[in-house]
């Protein structure tokens, strides 16, 4: 289900905008340029409405834990979620947070040169300077001590994290954190869930990483399980 109360962060150039969405209404708590705030509110409401309307027509979209058939008549954001979930082998709602980040972020790029939009740990980023994205991994001793270096010429891209020990998201694994970097955030979100589902012991790390790297448009991934960490692909940790 799409949370009716959801916290968002947007970095627009040097300004940070924090806001929540509840029952379709948005409250901005930190100021930035007014026209971008208004556009962000409208875009989030639009894309949430597209998803909720589709769920009314096809309720299985909300609850399926397996990929559903692609639908050429679906709204663009729904189509992207269906495709990403098919590639990752999970249900379409595994991509919802990343999809909203991606679609809202790309639309806002019409009005700003760089932006970071975070939706519950699922990030769309377009940056003109080097950034470091930290990884929170709950009670793992590695939590908060590792970050992924993001170089400007690699963006825009998506960085999404799933956990079997932190937060409310559904996971069938026990990884403290699985972070996936991909060409878009809806694919990164689906793949983070699918990879996390495959990690129940430290012996599963390598197999899970090999799985996610085989998916087209995945750049790289990090898996943290207790005090163990594994990485794959074209990413740099700091």
Please give the full DSSP string across 20-53, using - where no structure is assigned. EEETTEEEE-S---HHHHHHHHHHHHHHHHHHHH
Strands 131-134 and 147-150: antiparallel
Enumerate domains of the chain plus CATH numbers. Answer: 5-237 (3.10.520.10)
Does the pLDDT value for residue 232 go beyond 60? yes
Axis crossing angle, helix 96-108 with helix 185-196, rounded to the nearest 10:
160
Chain segment 170-204, per-residue pLDDT in tens? 788 899 999 999 999 999 999 999 999 999 999 99
Contact criterion met (CB below 8 Å) for 202 and 174:
no
| pLDDT for residue 19 is more than 60 | no
The pTM assigned to this predicted structure is: 0.84
Burial class (CB in 10 A: 0-12, 13-18, 19+), 147: middle
- pLDDT tens-digit map of 110-133: 888 888 898 888 999 999 999 999
Q: Comparing 13-22, 85-94, 148-157, 168-177, which segment has the lowest mean pLDDT?
A: 13-22
Does position 25 have pLDDT exceeding 80, yes or no?
Answer: no
Is residue 203 within 8 Å of residue 218, measured between CB atoms? no
3-class DSSP state of 65: coil
- Provide the pLDDT for residue 166: 80
Report how far Cα 142 is from the mean position of its chain's Cα atoms: 21
Average the pLDDT over each of 5-19, 54-68, 131-145, 216-230 and give the range with the smallest value.
Answer: 5-19
Is a pLDDT exceeding 70 seen at residue 144?
Answer: yes
What is the rounded distance in angstroms from the CA atom of residue 63 to the CA atom of residue 134?
A: 31
Q: What is the band of 28 on the pLDDT scale with cuts at 50, 70, 90?
A: very low
Mean pLDDT of the chain: 87
pLDDT of residue 1: 46
The answer to whether the Cα torsion of 136, 225, 205, 83 is positive or negative is negative
Per DSSP, the three-state class of 233 is: strand
């Amino acid at each position: 289900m799409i949370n009716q109360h959801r916290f968002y962060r947007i970095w627009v150039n040097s300004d940070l905008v924090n806001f929540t969405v509840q029952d379709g209404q948005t409250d901005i708590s930190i100021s930035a340029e007014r026209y971008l705030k208004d556009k962000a509110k409208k875009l989030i409401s639009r894309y949430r409405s597209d998803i909720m309307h589709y769920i009314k027509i096809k309720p299985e979209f909300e609850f399926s834990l397996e990929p559903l058939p692609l639908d050429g008549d679906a709204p663009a954001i729904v189509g992207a979620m269906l495709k990403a979930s098919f590639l990752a082998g999970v249900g379409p709602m595994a991509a919802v947070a990343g999809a909203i980040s991606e679609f809202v972020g790309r639309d806002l790029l019409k009005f700003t040169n760089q932006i970071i939009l975070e939706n519950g740990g699922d990030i769309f980023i377009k940056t003109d300077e080097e950034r470091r994205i930290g990884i929170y991994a709950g009670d793992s001793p590695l939590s908060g001590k590792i970050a992924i270096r993001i170089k400007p010429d690699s963006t825009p891209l998506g960085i999404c994290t799933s956990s079997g020990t932190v937060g409310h998201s559904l996971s069938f694994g026990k990884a403290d954190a699985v972070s996936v970097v991909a060409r878009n955030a809806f694919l990164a979100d689906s793949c983070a869930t699918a990879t996390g589902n495959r990690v129940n012991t430290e012996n599963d790390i390598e197999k899970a990483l090999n799985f996610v790297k085989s998916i087209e448009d995945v750049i790289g991934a990090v898996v943290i399980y207790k005090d163990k960490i594994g990485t794959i692909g074209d990413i740099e940790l700091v």
